[in-house]
Structures are given as C-alpha cells and as structure tokens.
Amino acid sequence: MLLEAVRRGDVEPRTALERFSALPFRDLGFARVDVHREVRQEAPEAVLGEGKSPEQVTAIVRALLEGGAGSVLVTRADAATRGAVRSAETEAHEDERARCVWVARSLPEARGTVAMVSAGTSDGAVLHEARIRAELLGTSVTVQEDIGVAGLHRLAAALPELAAADCVVVAAGMDGALASVVGGLVAAPVIGVPTSGGYGASRGGETPLFAMLASCAAGLAVVGIDDGFGAGTIAARIARSAAA
C-alpha cells in the first residue's frame, strides 16, 4: 500500500520510511505481533509453533485475528498446539502430516497456479506445508508426490501440470537431483526446497541444498532446508502476479 503510493508518486520515498516506522503492532510482552504485514506485503504474519507454548501460540493467533488478519497459519505445531488452537478458534483446520493448523476467514481470490512435486514420500510434510501456505495466500496448487530421479518415467504424469503452472516447487532430499531435472525442462520459475530426511551422505539436508544451489539449471532458486512455508510464500507471490 505504502510502497504503491511511493510508486505512484503520491508519497515521497523519505516520507515512506518515516511512515513505515509508525506502523502498528500488538505487544503481548513475549511477542510483538505485526498486524500490519498483510497490508504491507499481502501476506499475514504466520506463527512458528516450534519453541512456543500452546498458550503463547493461541494468544498470538487471537491477536492476529483481532488485528484483522484474513487468515492465520501456525507451522511446525505439535499435536498439543494444534489442539489448543482448534479449541480456542472453532473455525480452525489442521493437517497432521504437515504439522499445520490455521484459520481462514477471508482469503484473497485465487489467482495463478503452482505445481508442487516431491522426490519421495518422506518429503510430504514439507510439500504440504508449502501447499497450505500458498493456498492461504490465494493461489491454486497441484501436488504430485514421489517422482524421484531413480525412476524418472514417473515424471511423465506430472508433465501437464508442470507445463500449466506459473511457478513450480520441487521438494527433494538426498541428492536433490529432481530439482535439476525439472529445472531443465520447464520455462516457469522453479523454487527448490531441500528436505532433511535421508541418510548416507544427505547431511541433514545440506547435500540437496548445495546440489540445488549448484544446479546448472538456471531459473531455479532455493529456500532453507524443510522450509515449505518459505517456498509456499514466494511461489504464491510469483503465481499471483503472473496471473494478475
């Protein structure tokens, strides 16, 4: 909003930074909830469940909803936290595999399409976290799992969706090679998400992380290990603007 005003020339750049510092937040003592983020970046602040008590998470969710958030997503939430949020907010939904719980009050109209694929079954938690985030941000998502490089012919069934997507997300652990293969096929931007599963020499996800970063397939950028949330965010931004 503010930056758009800058772009239109309605607001001078220096004034924009000034106004930026006057943006609102809610102070819960242990947390300062950025209730303005949805206005500023078209994406509401999300809540990392890990390292917070169910009570803390519930309080932050409440503050965000009271602050007018269209939706609130809690990631990396264990069963206790998911239960607490669902008890506190009756309209909340959860996805056990993705360890997510969320309230969706008013989502943006869906725009654009993201194709999400994974190399193996164990990448599913990360992939579905990305899917939920992207859907809450207002984009359509297709998912195809377990199409890794060791049996590449399984990729064929995914081709129509890859071809139609405004953005592609590839979740892969171990050698991360699926990102390179997909990156060499499609023309849309590709977001790689290295995952931490696996053994042998996968080094907790650093092997697929570095392999994706070193991929010769230009058109590929990468988010942190297991960061489905980050992948879903940027993929939704790309897809929504492509379909604007």
User: Could you say which residues in the range 150-209 bind a second copy, by CB under 8 A?
Assistant: 150-160, 162-164, 166, 174-177, 180-181, 183-191, 197-203, 206-209
CB of 178 to a second copy, least distance (A): 9
Query: Between 40 and 105, whose beta carbon lies closer to a second copy?
Result: 40
d(CA 165, CA 187): 10
69 touches a second copy by CB under 8 A = no
CB of 51 to a second copy, least distance (A): 4
Contact with a second copy (CB under 8 A): which of 62, 76, 82, 99?
A: 76
59 touches a second copy by CB under 8 A = no
Query: Between 91 and 227, whose beta carbon lies closer to a second copy?
Result: 227
CB of 85 to a second copy, least distance (A): 16
Task: Name, in order, each residue with C-beta under 8 angstroms of 163's C-beta and a sequence gap of 6 or more.
Answer: 186
Query: Between 74 and 209, whose beta carbon lies closer to a second copy?
Result: 209
Residues 114-143 that bind a second copy (CB under 8 A): 119-122, 124
Please give the full DSSP string across 62-73, using - where no structure is assigned: HHHHHTT-SEEE
219, 183 Cβ separation under 8 angstroms: yes
Query: Between 79 and 152, whose beta carbon lies closer to a second copy?
Result: 152
Query: Between 106 and 151, whose beta carbon lies closer to a second copy?
Result: 151
Binding mask 16-55 for a second copy (x = CB under 8 A): xxxxxxxx-x-x-xxxx-x-xx--xxxx-xx-x-xxx---
Residues contacting a second copy: total by CB under 8 A: 116
Binding mask 80-109 for a second copy (x = CB under 8 A): ------------------------------
Contact window for a second copy (CB under 8 A) among 63-71, 83-91, 101-109, 233-241: 233-241
CB of 90 to a second copy, least distance (A): 25
Please give the full DSSP string across the chain, using - where no structure is assigned: -HHHHHHHTSS-HHHHHHHHTT---EE-SS-EE-TTHHHHHSSPPPEE-TTS-HHHHHHHHHHHHHTT-SEEEEES--HHHHHHHHHH-TT-EEETTTTEEEEESSPPPP-SEEEEEESSGGGHHHHHHHHHHHHHTT-EEEEE----GGGGGGGGGGHHHHHH-SEEEEEE-TT-HHHHHHHTT-SS-EEEEE-----SS-GGGHHHHHHHHT-S-SSEEE--TT-HHHHHHHHHHHHHHHT-
